[in-house]
């Protein structure tokens, strides 16, 4: 891992948690449609501000536009504009031309109820979307918004190889920040390349914003053996504390996004702490092996794949059950009836036609069709 890892002043107390508006609490309306739970979000926002938080992150596509609506209703209309930092993302991959960028930008300002963004990023750059961004001259669009004072800082969120990241930052030194996936489990992962991507952003002297520090919540609960080991180092730290503090201890990380939907999450995450020391870093990397040996599919539950499945297969739900079966094999028999019940109203694993359409939308680069086949063998063997 990077030698710069523990170069922060160990005496200093830090907290870099930003409020990610992707996993906001929702309720069902009279027509059974999911809508944001506005009262609850107000309470979460108030507590976040009381504890010193000031960073809100949203995107055009989050919660079908309700995330931006929550920014407007729960933050912009209730807090002074200079008391928070708002980051927004342009869905450049939906743009057909340069002119489309302006159309989405104006819509985003309107939806959020603001007249500028503190940070404005191209959303979800990977090989395919980067080609679209270059074709539409979307980096020029970012530069112009910065020159006009409508975007204080510019950047992009990224889901691809460290090699491509290096290529983009070399070609676009005007970028201020890069939002990448970093967590201790993916640090050396060949698919995510957290550590390599972090090193590339640092090499180019840009600020690192972090998404998925707890891997979609999957690092909030670890195999008992791993949790016991970590309790031996810090009896009062939860697995989430470990995951979030690891990321925030990285020099160059300005912000660590967390999707908090309970007051207890905010209370726990906003606590200040001393940056990691060597012993803490070693402890976390030690338990990584235990976690990997008991996780069959590294799905974060983001659900980006679900709407792209023509067979209506609830992919992340099946992966969650499959992981549980691997982690607690003695309880595997309990999962089969749940699977049988679920598949009354949705596709079964055996319905997969291996079209691979889901895989193009998976930020974790999971070979979904292959893993769904394993779910089939695991859960449908006994079904008649
Ligand atoms: S490969 Fe299978 S799971 Fe993925 S979209 Fe196609 S049918 Fe659905
Ligand atoms: S399979 Fe991939 S895209 Fe689908 S929920 Fe899991 S991590 Fe997200």
- Enumerate the domain spans of the chain: 3-293, 306-379
The response to whether residue 72 sits with its C-beta less than 6 Å from ligand 2 reads no
CA nearest to 21, candidates 105, 84, 80: 84
Q: Could you tell me the distance, in angstroms and rounded to a whole number, from the CA of residue 370 to the centre of ligand 1?
A: 10
* Tens of pLDDT, residues 79-122: 999 999 999 999 999 999 999 999 999 999 999 999 999 999 99
Beta bridge partner(s), residue 360 = none
Cβ pair 121, 154 in contact under 8 A: yes
How is residue 32 written in tokens? 């059974």
Altogether, the residues listed in the chain come to a count of 384
Cβ pair 74, 41 in contact under 8 A: yes
Q: What predicted TM-score, i.e. pTM, was given to this entire model? A: 0.84
* Tens of pLDDT, residues 232-248: 999 999 999 999 999 99
Closest ligand 2 atom to Cα of 316: 5
Phi, psi of 211 (to 5 degrees): -115, 160
* Percentage of residues of the chain with pLDDT beyond 90: 78
Closest ligand 1 atom to Cα of 351: 7
Beta bridge partner(s), residue 87 = 57, 119
* Tens of pLDDT, residues 290-324: 998 888 898 988 899 999 999 999 999 999 889 88
The pLDDT value recorded for residue 384 is 43
For 308-326, give the DSSP string.
G-TT---HHHHHHHHHHHH
Query: What HEC string does 199-246 produce?
Result: HHHHHCCCEEEEECCCCCCCCCCCCHHHHHHHHHHCCCCCHHHHHHHH
The response to whether residue 360 sits with its C-beta less than 6 Å from ligand 1 reads no
pLDDT at residue 2 tops 60: no
The DSSP call for residue 177 is E
CA 272 to chain centre: 22
Quote the mean pLDDT of the chain: 92
CA nearest to 93, candidates 70, 61, 67: 61
> Looking at the domain covering 3-293, what would its CATH class be?
alpha beta
In whole angstroms, how far apart are CA 133 and each of 33, 109, 146? 34, 20, 17
Q: Whose CA is nearest to atom 1 of ligand 2?
A: 299
Run of H or E residues at 373: helix 368-379
Q: Could you tell me the distance, in angstroms and rounded to a whole number, from the CA of residue 303 to the centre of ligand 2?
A: 5
CB environment 80-102: b (16+ within 10 A), e (fewer): eeeebbbbbbbbbbebeeeebbe
Cβ pair 272, 15 in contact under 8 A: yes
Cβ pair 50, 289 in contact under 8 A: no
The response to whether residue 315 sits with its C-beta less than 6 Å from ligand 2 reads yes
């Amino acid at each position: 891992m990077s030698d710069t890892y523990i170069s922060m002043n160990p005496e200093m107390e830090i907290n870099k948690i930003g409020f990610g508006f992707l996993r906001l609490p929702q309720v069902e309306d009279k027509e059974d449609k999911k809508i944001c739970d506005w009262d609850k979000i107000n309470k979460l926002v108030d507590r976040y501000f009381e504890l010193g938080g000031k960073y809100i992150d949203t995107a055009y596509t989050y919660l079908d536009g309700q995330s931006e609506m929550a920014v407007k209703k729960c933050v912009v209309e209730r807090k002074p504009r200079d008391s928070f930092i708002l980051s927004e993302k342009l869905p450049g991959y939906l743009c057909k031309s340069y002119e489309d960028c302006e159309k989405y930008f104006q819509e985003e300002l309107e939806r959020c109820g603001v007249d500028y963004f503190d940070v404005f990023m191209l959303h979800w750059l990977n090989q395919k979307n980067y080609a679209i961004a270059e074709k539409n001259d979307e980096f020029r669009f970012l530069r112009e918004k910065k020159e006009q004072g409508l975007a204080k800082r510019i950047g992009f969120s990224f889901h691809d190889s460290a090699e491509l990241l290096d290529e983009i930052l070399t070609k676009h030194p005007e970028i201020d920040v890069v939002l990448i996936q970093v967590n201790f489990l993916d640090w050396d992962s060949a698919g995510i390349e957290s550590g390599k991507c972090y090193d590339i952003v640092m090499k180019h002297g840009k600020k690192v914003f972090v998404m998925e520090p707890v891997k979609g919540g999957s690092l909030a609960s670890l195999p008992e053996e791993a949790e016991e080991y970590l309790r031996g180092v810090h009896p009062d730290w939860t697995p989430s504390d470990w995951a979030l503090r690891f990321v925030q201890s990285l020099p160059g990380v300005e912000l660590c996004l967390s999707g908090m939907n309970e007051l207890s999450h905010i209370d726990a995450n906003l606590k200040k702490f001393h940056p990691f020391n060597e012993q803490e870093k070693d402890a976390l990397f030690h338990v990584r092996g235990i976690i990997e040996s008991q996780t069959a599919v590294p799905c974060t539950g983001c659900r980006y794949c679900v709407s792209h499945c023509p067979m209506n297969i609830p992919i992340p739900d099946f992966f969650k059950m499959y992981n549980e079966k691997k982690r607690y094999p003695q309880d595997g028999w309990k999962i089969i009836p749940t699977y049988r019940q679920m598949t009354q109203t949705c596709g079964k694993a055996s319905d997969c036609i291996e079209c691979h359409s889901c895989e193009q939308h998976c930020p974790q680069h999971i070979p979904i069709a292959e893993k769904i086949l394993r779910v089939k063998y695991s859960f449908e063997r006994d079904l008649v």
